[in-house]
Structure formats: structure tokens, C-alpha cells
């Protein structure tokens, strides 16, 4: 993000419109959480990765998963690529750890739904 950019705070549904000046000062935040997020976004942006993973012997073909914490934005592609190559065997419990430290990024990939075993 460049100085004097405008962006939207994604911390809560109010979606405040934020601006950054040439000294990297943030304006427009209605609360301190938004200000903290904006400063994080300027220095090292992070996101929670949400995707799905193939399942075998399950009552559905895919299980939805997410990272258990925000990860560096530039690591998202490699995490998704790692998950693309994985097949998980059912049963799968909600919040079960599917992968630890994918692509050497410090996080766990956890299931956000359960999958029953069939067959
Ligand atoms: S600045 Fe605060 S109030 Fe505004 S969107 Fe962000 S978290 Fe919500």
C-alpha cells in the first residue's frame, strides 16, 4: 500500500474509509481496532485463508477449512497450493487440524465443518 492510498477497514461491518498520508498516518478510523489493523496493513498485511480440501470416504467431496490465525498475505498462494495436493480421509471433526504449518507458514489448517464417513 502506498502513502495517500485510500482503503476500507475490514475489521467490522461499518467499513470505515481510511486514508494514509505521506507520513503513513492513518485517518478516518472510528476506533482503535481499525487504527491497529490499518497500521498492520501498512507494515505487513495478513489474512485468514479460507478454502476447501478434497475428502475420501466422506458424505461430501470437500471439507471447508481455514487457517487458525491470520497469515502473511504473500504466503496465501503457497498455502492454497499445498492444500490443493491434499486428500483427507473421513470422518473429519469440526476444528480438526488438517495440516500443520503448510508451506512452512506458522499456522494450522482446521476444518470448519464435520464430515461423516460412508462406505
Ligand atoms: S475503524 Fe473501527 S469502526 Fe471503522 S470499520 Fe474499522 S473496526 Fe469498524
Domains in the chain (CATH in brackets) are: 6-43 (no CATH), 50-111 (3.10.530.10)
Ligand 1 geometric centre to CA of 113 (Å): 29
Name which residue sits closest to atom 3 of ligand 1, judged by CA.
30
Report CA(32)–ligand 1 centroid distance (Å): 8
Write out the three cell numbers for 90: 473421513
CA 88 to chain centre: 20
Q: How many CA atoms lie within 13 A of 11 on its CB side?
A: 18
| Mean pLDDT computed over every residue of the chain | 94
Per residue in 60-111, pLDDT (tens digit) is: 999 999 999 999 999 999 999 999 999 999 999 999 999 999 999 999 999 9
- CA of 82 from ligand 1 middle (Å) equals 33
CA dihedral for 80, 81, 84, 88, sign (positive or negative) = negative
Cα angle vertex 70, ends 105, 12, to 5°?
170
User: ∠ CA 7-112-56 to the nearest 5 degrees?
Assistant: 125
At 4 the pLDDT is 63
Which atom of ligand 1 lies at the shortest distance from residue 14's CA? Answer: 5
Mean pLDDT of 12-29: 92
Laid out side by side, the sheet with 17-20 consists of 6-8, 17-20, 26-27
Confidence band for 16, pLDDT divided at 50, 70 and 90: very high
**pTM exceeds 0.95 for this model:** no
Retrieve residue 84's grid coordinates: 490443493
In this structure, the residue with its CA closest to atom 4 of ligand 1 is 16
Is residue 31 lining ligand 1, measured as CB closer than 6 Å?
Answer: yes
Amino acid at each position: 500500500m502506498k502513502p495517500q492510498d485510500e482503503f476500507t477497514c475490514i475489521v467490522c461491518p461499518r467499513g470505515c474509509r481510511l486514508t494514509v498520508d505521506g507520513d503513513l498516518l492513518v485517518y478516518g478510523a472510528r476506533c482503535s481496532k481499525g487504527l491497529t489493523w490499518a497500521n498492520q496493513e501498512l507494515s505487513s498485511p495478513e489474512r485468514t485463508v479460507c478454502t476447501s480440501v478434497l475428502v475420501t470416504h466422506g458424505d461430501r467431496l470437500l471439507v471447508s477449512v481455514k487457517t487458525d490465525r491470520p497469515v502473511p498475505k504473500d504466503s496465501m498462494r503457497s498455502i492454497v497450493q499445498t492444500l490443493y495436493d491434499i486428500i483427507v480421509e473421513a470422518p473429519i471433526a469440526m476444528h480438526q487440524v488438517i495440516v500443520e504449518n503448510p508451506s512452512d507458514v506458522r499456522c494450522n489448517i482446521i476444518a470448519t465443518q464435520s464430515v461423516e464417513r460412508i462406505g
